[in-house]
Structure 1
Amino acid sequence: MKLKLSVITLLATVLSVSTAAADQLADIKSRGTLTCGTLGTAEPFSFADPATREIAGYDIDLCKGIADDMGVELQMKPMSVEARIPELVQGRVDVLAGNLGYTPERAEQIDYTTAYFVSLQKLLVKADSDFAALDDLGESRISAPKGSSSERYVREALPQATLLTFQDPPSAFLALAQSKVDSMILSEINAEKFVAQTGEKFKFIDQAVAEEFWGLGIRKNEPALLEQVNATLKRLEESGEGQKIFDKWLGEATAYKLKKPFKFDEPVSDPVLRPAR
């Protein structure tokens, strides 16, 4: 009886060690699908294409490149800003491409790939308002997506302001459009699209609140997967395919007219915060 128990205990220990050492990259290849988490409401990064009713955008093309290099099918999973990191940590997605700005706090929970976008975080106000500088908004009402880095930047740069958080970027913008708040903080690229879509008159406060590096999120302790995704980003950079993806969604022929000021193989770093003077 004791021998049987010892054997069972040994088998349980082996299985436990095997599970703990599981390789997520191997699991992805074994099942044949890569699940990539995105917001699904943040054009041009990830949004519902009216023509196909499928999620499309900059993030999706990058995730497709990653899946192709792995030799697997891509599966997209839309989620809220607040749910991004929990969904990744709990293993419901393999890779997170959800406008994920780098912060030291987030880096304690997840691993970041090299940079795939650099974002200016700016405050948007109505064009007929008297707000012209960050200092003017010191005691104002500001909207931000709940759980976003934008929320954090406002708290640090304008600690006296009243911050109202919303479930997603469209809701935060609607609060500004309906004059429920005085301004909204968001990535400049996303805020520009809201302005273009509504046709209403808004303006940016010239001084950016922060300059933020975005990386793709990978669960901690998955070195093989992290190396694989970084290898794809490096390939996209060196082949010029990454530039084509950037130009397709964000370049000078689009409504955003941006130039790519970063390389896909450069490390992410702490955001540059510019508090009100």
Structure 2
Amino acid sequence: MRVPSSRRAPQRSSSRTPRANARAISSTRSFTTKSGSTDRTARKRFGRGRTMHKKWNWRLATALVALLALMGAAACGDDDEPLDPGADVEAEEFEAGTTMAELQEAGEITIGVKYDVPPFGLENPDSGDIEGFDVDLGKYIAARLGVEPVFREAISDNRIPFLQDGTVDIILSTMTITTDRDAEIDFSRPYFIAQGRILVPEESDIAGIDDLGDGTSVCTALGSTYEATLKDQAPDADVRTVEAYSDCLTLLRNGQVDAVSTDNIILTGMIIQAGEDFPMKLVGDPLTTEPYGTGIPDGDTEFQAFLDETIEMSFDDGTWQEIYDQWVGQYVEGEPEHPQDYTLQDALDLFPCSETC
């Protein structure tokens, strides 16, 4: 497998250093926005994530600055302190020779995240900071180690190679747990449950996966689970793969594809990015259930157990809910399935081994 080069230097957190599957399986619940139905999302909250190969549209960049300011305000409590994941976590000491102890000796942990996928990872065009759900969870993990989080861009196609060659220590990059991937790396327990959906322009006649037939085209990211899902569920459609979901949005806006398919919350971010300039909608029933896990190098069972425990702690101490409320909950109504209801094996069972496993 080729290893795409990273286009951006890693970024250290600007906050203070922490102290030290088949069609919709068990649930068909979908996100509903606070301004409309399950198939339409609010239009004006997310600014445009930074497109990977193109210059910023200044209006969308301005909108993103406003969004991030709003998010910062929403995260503040009565004392005007912003959300600081892991602020109350005491760093632990770990046995010499473990990955945890090695990271503590190094003083930092390098975390692969996406830079253009709100609300999980996006680059603030004003401050240059990387912000989002995955970023805040990474800060919480770093706090348990008492080290500084360093964020490096990891797109769908280079996440696993980055773990294998040591470019990053962990991946928090909207990565669905699958049996095929588990053959190459290891995963933590699930930390987020998404659902696969289809995004089309508002005026489109496409109403679901069955309308993606001969003569239609749909975009998804290279290396994502949707390459296989679309080939299975829409075998006659032309499946276009690109490096980043922001590229899919560009193709859709330019009329070069008819639809985009990925996780529902990522598509919701696209709708809000595009705003009134290019109204879009989610259509059809959920295609898949997509449990996100933290990716780590294969065979490190002690590190895997540490991450499982840390994620469970975030559920129990309320940090996960705080992160969810800031980055997801304020833009959608209703609750998705909670990751605490899923084990790693539950997640693997949703995506059994393919012929390449």
Post-superposition offset of 1:108: 0.4
1:136 positional shift? 1.2
Q: Secondary structure at the match of 1:220?
A: coil
- 2:283 alignment counterpart: 205
Do the aligned residues in 1 keep the contact of 2:271 with 2:281 (CA within 8 Å)?
Answer: no
Equivalent residue of 1:144, what SS?
strand
Give secondary structure in 2 for the equivalent of 1:164: strand
Match of 1:161 in 2: 237
Q: 1:191 and 1:72, CA in 2 relative to 1: closer, same or farther beyond 3 A?
A: same
1:136 paired residue among 211, 225, 238:
211
The answer to whether the 8 Å contact 2:291/2:339 transfers is no
Match of 1:120 among 195, 207, 231: 195
State the TM-score, normalized to the length of structure 1: 0.85
Equivalent of 1:191, from 259, 267, 291? 267
Provide the C-alpha distance between the structure 2 equivalents of 1:155 and 1:238, rounded to a whole number of angstroms: 39
Q: Show the counterpart of 1:228.
A: 306
Distance 1:210 1:161 in 2: 18
Cα shift readout 1:12-49 (whole Å, capped 9, x = no counterpart):
xxxxxxxxxx6422221211111111111111111112
Aligned length: 251
Gaps of at least 5 residues in structure 2 are: 1-96, 352-357
Greater share of helix residues, 1 or 2? 1
Q: Which has the higher contact order (CA 8 A, sep 6+)?
A: 2
Which letter maps to 1:215? G
Q: 2:136 aligns with which of 54, 57, 61?
A: 61
Q: Structure 1 residue 97 and structure 2 residue 175: aligned?
A: no
Higher gyration radius (CA): 1
| Structure 1 residues without counterparts, runs of 5 or longer | 1-21
Deviations 1:46-71 (A, max 9, x none): 11123421101111111111111011
Aligned partner of 1:42 in structure 2 is 117
Q: Give the alignment's Cα RMSD to 1 decimal.
A: 1.8
Q: 2:183 aligns with which of 108, 113, 118?
A: 108
% identical equivalent positions: 26
Alignment equivalent of 1:240, drawn from 318, 332, 337: 318
1:72 aligns with 2:150: no
Contact 1:250 1:258 in 2 (8 A): no
Partner of 2:294: 216
Instruction: Indicate the structure with greater strand content.
Output: 1
Answer yes or no: is the 8 Å Cα contact 2:193–2:338 preserved in 1. yes
CA shift in 2, pair 1:271/1:186, >3 Å: farther
Match of 1:16 in 2: none
